[in-house]
Amino acid sequence: MDWLDAMNKAIEYLEANITEKLDIEKVAKIALSSTFHFQRMYHMITGVTIAEYIRRRKLTLAAQDIISGEKIINVAYKYGYETPEAFTKAFGKMHGMSPSAARKPGANLKAYPKLSFHISIKGDKNMNYKIIDKGSFTVVGKQRRISMVDGENFKQVPEFWNDCMKDGSYEWICSKAGELGVLGVSKDFDKYKDGFIYMIGVEKIKDTLPKGYVSTNIPATTWAIFESVGALPEATHDLIRRIFTEWMPATGYQHDCAPEIEVYPKGDMYSPDYKCEIWIPVKK
């Protein structure tokens, strides 16, 4: 499969140039993808960002070099750390000890292995989807910056929803919901290294926005719309992972670098029968 080969070639390039400054655009090109889509796909599949993968691999290899007898200061500079102090801090965070302590017999070090991608064939649930074109529209609501480091987005987004429910924002948003219902919008992936902006809102309204509310434009694009069935947030989290790790590689679609949308109709979001939609902007 072209997609699988391309992803593995990208990893081989990263490993061969592990001591060099990361050129993410070149890596994405090897993966036959846009920079944004490659980073998003990689994070969804592995659970870590490219930057985090490189950091862990460097510190794994650095530990081996130190055990082999290389000078700590040389190892620090070899793997791109500007000072030995910065290297010692990063090394300690991963391995739980200083670089000098790693030389002692019996030191318990951590190793983060080189990744490779394989296809796993299994009988899983069907993914119901449709492809539509939709013109641009505006969404208004509240937003918060979300981190993708170590999967924090899967915790921070539900926390944001809970905060909006507690402070009355969600009630106001629900009262203004139009035909689509309440929307969750993930946007600005290209503006932040390890995160994005998440927005809870509705389609544009004529009312003056209260303090703390913002508006954002959703560009005209082609959408792949997937049906999610199940209690939130687990059902949507599982579906989003499957979209990126199963559906996209199987169909040849790529992310079109526009916001992603969750469409929440009225109903009990914690019911095992609750139905909502995930909208992913796509291109062939």
Give the pLDDT band of residue 133 (cuts 50, 70, 90): very high
Q: Do 34 and 173 fall within a single domain?
A: no
246 shares its domain with 157 = yes
Q: How confident is the model at residue 204 (pLDDT cuts 50, 70, 90)?
A: confident
**% of the chain surpassing 90 pLDDT:** 61
Whole-structure pTM value:
0.74
Rounded to the nearest angstrom, the gap between the alpha carbon of residue 232 and the centroid of all alpha carbons in its chain is 18
Same domain, 140 and 187: yes
> pLDDT category, 3, cuts 50, 70, 90?
confident
Check which CATH number belongs to the domain holding 46 and give it: 1.10.10.60
Amino acid 192: pLDDT: 74
Give the pLDDT mean for 99-115.
91
The boundaries of the domain holding residue 65 are: 2-103
Provide the β-strand partners of residue 221: 134
Are 184 and 264 a contacting pair, CB within 8 Å?
A: yes
Closest CA to 254 of 46, 41, 49, 8: 41
d(CA 27, CA 14): 7
| Alpha-helical runs (H) found in 33-106 | 35-46, 50-67, 72-78, 84-95
User: Does residue 69 sit in the same domain as residue 160?
Assistant: no
pLDDT, residue 225, reads: 97
DSSP strands (E only) in the chain: 129-134, 137-147, 182-187, 195-203, 214-218, 221-229, 254-255, 260-264, 275-283
DSSP 3-state helix, strand, coil percentages of the chain (rounded to 5)?
40, 20, 35
**Burial class, 269, CB count within 10 angstroms (exposed 0-12 / middle 13-18 / buried 19+):** middle
Percentage of residues in the chain with pLDDT exceeding 70? 96
| Pair (17, 59) in one structural domain | yes
Q: Is residue 219 located within the same domain as residue 253?
A: yes
Is 74 in the same domain as 159?
A: no
pLDDT for residue 121: 52
CA distance to 70, 81, 100, 136, per residue, from 65 (Å): 6, 15, 12, 54
Each residue of 153-195: pLDDT tens digit?
889 999 999 999 999 999 999 999 988 899 999 999 878 767 8
Average predicted confidence (pLDDT) for the chain = 89
Same-domain check for residues 179 and 235: yes
pLDDT tens string 218-238: 999 999 999 999 999 899 988
Q: Which residue has the higher pLDDT, 14 or 149?
A: 14
Domain count, the chain: 2
The strand pair at 260-264 and 182-187 is best described as: antiparallel
Q: In the predicted model, is pLDDT for residue 66 greater than 80?
A: yes
